[in-house]
Amino acid sequence: MTRATALRWILALGTVAAAIVAAPNTHTHQQDATGDCAVADRAAGPDTDLYCIELFHRPDFPAASGRAELGRVPSPFGTRVSTDGHHEFNVAVVIRGLPDPSSIGPYTTYVAWATTPLLRPMVNLGPVGNGRADLGRVGFDKFLILVTAEASADGDTYQGRLVLRGISASMRMEPEDLLQLTGIVGNRGAAEPSDWPAPRPHPLVEMMPGVGDLRPAVTPYAPQTPAGGPAPRARPREVVTLPDGGTLDLEAAVVTRTINGRTFTMFGFNGQYPGPLIRVPQDATITVNFTNRLDLPTAIHWHGIRLDNRYDGVPGVTQDPVQPGDSFRYRIHFPDAGIYWYHPHHREDIQQDLGLYGNMRVDPRDPAYYGPANREEILMLDDLLTTADGAALVPYGRERATHALMGRFGNLLLVNGEPEYRLTVDRGAVVRFFLTNVSNTRTFNLSFGDEAIKLVASDVGKFEREMWVDSVVIAPAERYIVEVRFPQAGAVTLINSVQSIDHVYGNFFPEATPLGRIMVRETPARPDHATSFDTLRAHGDVVADIDRYRGDFDRPVDHRLLLTLAVDGLPYPLETLLNLDSIFFNPVEWSGTMPRMNWVTTTDQVQWILRDEDTGQENLDIDWSFRIGDRVKIRLRNDRTAVHAMQHPIHIHGQRFLVLAQDGVANDNLVWKDTTLVPVGSTVDILLELSNPGRWMLHCHIAEHLESGMRLVFDVRP
């Protein structure tokens, strides 16, 4: 770097700092009503406070102003991130008042730049002028947008005069004012039962002041060893293949698990962890005789299945909870091919987290439904929260759920119940992976080393066309079917790579957690599916099915739901910290970097809300009624102004829907879904097909958000 260039960067940083001081208060949802970002606000678009950057002029260019819009990068997932977890945005600028560049010096054009707070690297986004310009992609966590006058548009760093500059919302995330926090240390606000072991602090993040002494204001619950000795050791899951008319006896009971040399008392279906993999042909109907051997009431929800309403497994809606020692008979019809799962729908924050979950594989009628593969693997992704010494699981709230604010992030990541997934394949093998996220709250960003990933299907069927992705973003309750080819011998790591936030110091940092390893042998795979793997198939049957609904895509929205939050009675340190923390929220909270702060929040202090924006009704007070054959367009808007805004995976029982658009960008590769991720500040439009009569639930699938009230029930009449 030349001295002159370094000096320009220093001067630029100084002018950006001046812009921050001069900027209007940006801690609220809408900026100054005359600001360019306020003008950009659209009902179907993203929140302007997070996804729009006000561009402020230098003092010597008073007529210039503008905005940089951070648009959605097209993606089959709820959010677009890079393989290593950086959120990515398509940048467009809208500018007015720029003078002719030649009038201010030896310049011919204006150029937009994106850069980090260190002013390197400097990314040339392209030439701009008055009006709108769609520019390149930005994948920085914290960044600046600069507009300069240049002699040429081709440079790799700016050489001319800085005219406009602005900062991303994430730049407002600064280290907390420790002097302000000093006054809250020692204010406890909650009782400290001696039998409440605390979760392990995050190893890379300091604890917020005043939080370490707090405990949840509930009684701890942990599964008890049965009378007469230890619980039986859990076995790896078994495959149960059932024909049409088949029957399965399923029992929920206490089991013992050994993970990383530590022994835990947990739950399991039929003594297995995960529960049995139920494999059936499409259109089959089976009977499941369920018995509850737990000390808690429970029920089983058959997630994603468009089944008879009375067997949906929702206590208080479709059935009474199954009491300890009692039984219930489910009859389940499987109309759709794909991968589904079953889990409790009563205190699932405890029961699902302790191991009550299993997959259902529905084999398609058409043997060519999927492309050729050498083998298939079914992976269930999960995490567990252990105590500071790692010797036990952190207990759950007996009377009500803990971790109500962000959900129960675990610190031990699992695949099929184990911390180290292992697979051995031949060189060149194509493996079809059926992925299910069963964690309480964690969204994963999965990749298979540097190998190409072919995305084939999601919750309730195939995409209109297959596509290549670098990584798979999968929220709680979502499923994706992908194919990966392993062309070279050696080891390939299955890894979860995200960018986490240190809220104390206001920084992003990478977390890359290996979940498993695929060993590729030198032996060539037979048969060789390289040619078919390299071909992206278009699925005409899916297109034809969806064609029947395209006339509804552009019509007005029928219902609008705001996803928001109310808190009351939080311990004083938490309330103060949340007020300080309200400056910026990541679109997705990827990691539990505040385990103590999150742990002490309970569902009597935190209420997550679905609010009908047309009637003002909330959660179970919402009264929606439809008829079979209705097609309902619903807009989901995630409130950025909530005291701790967070992403929500929204699940709808008993039906299927299409994600039409997110943040005003139409989805051009559709797939039938039952769960969709709504990031902070985003707006998602879905088209819900009503094909199944009964009383059904819509809710957030973060278990603790569901427990804190984030659910509604709607009627579908024959």
Residue 401 lies in a domain: no
Residue 321 neighbours by CB under 8 Å, 6+ apart: 297, 298, 299, 315, 346
pLDDT grade, residue 503 (50/70/90)? confident
- What is the average per-residue pLDDT within 54-80? 95
Residue 412 neighbours by CB under 8 Å, 6+ apart: 259, 260, 383, 384, 385, 386, 419
Residue with tokens 């697979």, as numbered in its chain: 423
- Residue 17 predicted with pLDDT over 50: no
* Cα angle for residues 654, 657, 658 (degrees, 5° grid): 165
Six token digits for residue 302 = 């058959």
Q: Considering the chain, what percentage of its residues have pLDDT values greater than 70?
A: 91
Q: What is the pLDDT of residues 256-271, one digit of tens each?
A: 999 999 999 999 999 9
Closest by Cα among 343, 346, 254 to 293? 254
H and E: helices and strands count for the chain: 10, 42
- What is the average per-residue pLDDT within 447-452? 97
CB 115 within 8 A of CB 165: no
- Residue 418 predicted with pLDDT over 50: yes
- Residue 374 predicted with pLDDT over 60: yes
Continuous H helices in 557-716: 572-580, 595-599, 703-707
DSSP string for residues in 631-661: EEEEEEEE-TTSTT---EEEEESS-EEEEEE
- What is the average per-residue pLDDT within 43-58? 91
Closest by Cα among 108, 174, 119 to 143? 119
Same domain, 127 and 40: yes
* Cα angle for residues 57, 60, 65 (degrees, 5° grid): 25
- Mean pLDDT of all residues belonging to the chain: 91
> Cα 168 to chain center, whole Å?
21
- Residue 384 predicted with pLDDT over 80: yes
Integer angstrom CA distances of residue 353 from 119, 252, 438, 474 = 44, 13, 8, 17
161/104 Cα distance (integer angstroms): 9
Q: What pLDDT, on a 0 to 100 scale, did the predictor assign at position 572? A: 77
Residue 25, Cβ density class (10 Å: 0-12 exposed, 13-18 middle, ≥19 buried): exposed
44/556 Cα distance (integer angstroms): 11
Residue 456 lies in a domain: no
Last residue of a domain, one of 310, 343, 369: 369
Which SS3 state, helix, strand or coil, does residue 705 take?
Answer: helix
Residue 668 lies in a domain: yes
275/359 Cα distance (integer angstroms): 7
Listed range (7-16, 115-124, 534-543) with the worst mean pLDDT: 7-16
Residue 655 lies in a domain: yes
Higher pLDDT, residue 302 or 8 = 302
703/353 Cα distance (integer angstroms): 9
pTM for this entry: 0.93
pLDDT grade, residue 586 (50/70/90)? very high
Residue 110 lies in a domain: yes
Strands 220-221 and 277-281: unpaired
The torsion angles phi and psi of 134, rounded to 5 degrees, stand at -90, 120
Same domain, 166 and 245: no
Q: What pLDDT, on a 0 to 100 scale, did the predictor assign at position 487? A: 97
- Residue 180 predicted with pLDDT over 70: no
Q: How many CB atoms lie within 10 A of CB 105?
A: 11
Q: What pLDDT, on a 0 to 100 scale, did the predictor assign at position 234? A: 95
How many structural domains are present in the chain? 3
- Residue 697 predicted with pLDDT over 60: yes
Q: What pLDDT, on a 0 to 100 scale, did the predictor assign at position 225? A: 83
pLDDT grade, residue 608 (50/70/90)? very high
Same domain, 33 and 139: yes
Same domain, 147 and 250: no
DSSP state for residue 403 in the 8-state scheme: -
471/82 Cα distance (integer angstroms): 7
pLDDT grade, residue 40 (50/70/90)? low
- Residue 581 predicted with pLDDT over 90: no
350/397 Cα distance (integer angstroms): 8
First to last CA, the chain: 72
Residue 266 lies in a domain: yes
27/42 Cα distance (integer angstroms): 19
110/129 Cα distance (integer angstroms): 6
Closest by Cα among 297, 293, 306 to 360? 306
Residue with tokens 């309480």, as numbered in its chain: 440
Same domain, 52 and 166: yes
CB 158 within 8 A of CB 141: no
CB 112 within 8 A of CB 125: yes
Q: What pLDDT, on a 0 to 100 scale, did the predictor assign at position 224? A: 86
Q: What is the pLDDT of residues 243-255, one digit of tens each?
A: 999 999 999 999 9
Higher pLDDT, residue 433 or 581 = 433
Cis peptide bond upstream of 121, omega within 30: yes
Cis peptide bond upstream of 197, omega within 30: no
Six token digits for residue 566 = 């109310």
Q: Considering the chain, what percentage of its residues have pLDDT values greater than 90?
A: 81
β-partners of residue 425 are 520
339/380 Cα distance (integer angstroms): 11
Q: Which domain holds residue 124?
A: 3-172
Q: How many Cα atoms occupy the beta-carbon half-sphere of 641 within 13 Å?
A: 9
- What is the average per-residue pLDDT within 218-225? 91
Closest by Cα among 4, 83, 399, 339 to 217? 399
- Residue 445 predicted with pLDDT over 90: yes
Last residue of a domain, one of 131, 155, 172: 172
Residue 587 lies in a domain: no
Same domain, 347 and 239: yes
635/643 Cα distance (integer angstroms): 22
Same domain, 166 and 236: no
Same domain, 167 and 241: no
For residue 663, the domain's CATH number is: 2.60.40.420
Six token digits for residue 520 = 């590729």
Residue with tokens 């109310």, as numbered in its chain: 566
CB 556 within 8 A of CB 635: no
Six token digits for residue 175 = 């280290």
Residue 448 lies in a domain: no
Same domain, 144 and 275: no
Which SS3 state, helix, strand or coil, does residue 583 take?
Answer: helix
- Residue 342 predicted with pLDDT over 80: yes
Integer angstrom CA distances of residue 697 from 195, 408, 457, 561, 674 = 36, 22, 24, 14, 11
Residue with tokens 């790896």, as numbered in its chain: 236
Q: Torsion angle, CA of 542/631/549/369, rounded to 10 degrees? A: 10
Last residue of a domain, one of 140, 172, 204: 172
CB crowding 427-457: b at 16 or more within 10 Å, else e: bbbbbbbbbbbbbbbbbbbbbbbebebbbbb
* Cα angle for residues 612, 592, 385 (degrees, 5° grid): 110
- Largest Cα separation within the chain, whole Å, is 90
Same domain, 168 and 240: no
For the chain, percent helix, then strand, then coil, each to nearest 5? Answer: 10, 40, 45
pLDDT grade, residue 506 (50/70/90)? confident
What's 295-330 look like in SS3? CCCECEEEECCCCCHHHCCCECCCECCECCCCEEEE
* Cα angle for residues 539, 542, 545 (degrees, 5° grid): 150
Listed range (61-75, 220-234, 502-516, 550-564) with the worst mean pLDDT: 220-234
β-partners of residue 223 are none
Q: What pLDDT, on a 0 to 100 scale, did the predictor assign at position 22? A: 39
Same domain, 7 and 125: yes
Same domain, 123 and 53: yes
Q: What pLDDT, on a 0 to 100 scale, did the predictor assign at position 505? A: 84
Residue 411, Cβ density class (10 Å: 0-12 exposed, 13-18 middle, ≥19 buried): buried
Q: What pLDDT, on a 0 to 100 scale, did the predictor assign at position 112? A: 97
